[in-house]
Structure 1
Amino acid sequence: MKTTFIYRQAMVNDESKAADVFLVFPRFLDTPGLIEQDFRLLFGEATANTFLERWPTTFRARVIKESHGLVPTTELLDLMRNAESTAEVENGWDSDMSAILLLLHLLPPSAQGRKRPGKISASQAVDHLIRFQKAGTSVQQHLDNITQSSQPYLLAQGSTRSSIHSYFIVIDKHALPCKATGSVGAFDELIKAHYVFGTSYSSSLSSFFTFVQTTIYNIDIGETKETPRIAELRARMLH
């Protein structure tokens, strides 16, 4: 896989060939860790380790603190309770995923152009980031039920949302197994998959992902278009 990296990058960045990447390289579908390997070849060791180093130590607590300033909805309060405690709200995500979802509430979707007026809420946007599937349910069944194409997202399988056994990255009706078994590691792999496979961010998660990209990973700072809200939140978080 290392020796074919250059060829693969040319492939995923060519619109006419990008969809065939899993036909040519089917190992992505059964070998965890290949997304990580390709990302390291793209950006180097330091950038590849950034999120797992900086999120738990610096950003997690600051995101929780910032979320206290938001208008309190039931869902937001549940996420805050989950993120701050070890006793999870019934049917809620674990504390790490809850903290990540709080960041999505801090950077909610913006209105999507003139053609599609009205914007979806942060809680609706969660579906574009992660979906839950009961353990024992077929992953293939989930893929077969996909009717419209979407950007990559996480499929979390477990007994409950707070007890996930395995994560997959769903992309082009394929499920790629994550190497990580925890929610922070799985989210890190999801971000990296966007680069490895040359996909753009989901429009409803654009601000959220751009913040993570520039502020936490330090990728393309100053070159990536940012909203004033992203710049303002970064200034407060890094102050």
Structure 2
Amino acid sequence: MSTTLLKGHVVIQTDGYNSIEDYTKQSILTSSFSSSLFTISGTGHLELLGLHFDNLNPSSNDPLISISTDSDFPPQLQIEDCEFSQGSDSYSTYSLSNSIISISGGIMKIERTTIENYKFMNGNSLIYIKPDQTSTVTISQTKFTYITQTGAGKGSAINAQLQQDSILKVTDSCTFSNCSTQQSYDCLGGAIYAVVDGSNSQFIVSDLVKFEKCQSFQGGAISVELLNMGTCEVNNVQFKECTVNNDGG
């Protein structure tokens, strides 16, 4: 199954979904798939509510979810109260050759979501924000746990190439625990790596975000490169037991 959304507003949710009361999340199992589960472009708007996802075939080069645009009318993705985890058999044996979410222009919001137990290879990160279009990404009340890169790479949880006035905001009690890259010289940002390029491009981490036991060669939790007056704001953030081999915990 592979779905392309070019226009319209589509909501996919677990039966009995309730953002307040307990319910059982419906699983969407995709480990045998080689193509993206969802591709959102044009003016498409997709909401994913109360669902559980795993991963594509480990050898696939496609992201599980892809968002892209080449127009002034951005596609939108909202992920709320979901769970993402690599299948247990896959996690014990394979590193993934693809990101889970790739965005090249558009608006994405992730909130109250748990993301855990992923291993990536070939420089892939769990979330990849590409540089060629304007992306606005907000992540809140979300947990990233045991996200690792097994080869060269930057930012195991998030690799953000923020150009074209792009904004990444990580806020409201997000946690990053045991997120790591390899300990070699070209591996930066255990949890997040960001290049912020241009005066209107922003990277914001604020409001009780916590990084714990993250590690990399440089920037145990976060590594940021600011270019052409790009801005980075870190406010009310906790770093605990994050380690490096070179510069900056």
TM-score by length of 1: 0.25
Structure number with bigger Rg: 1
Query: Per residue, is there more helix in 1 or in 2?
Result: 1
Which structure exhibits the higher relative contact order, with contacts defined as CA atoms closer than 8 Å and separated by 6 or more residues? 1
More strand by share: 2
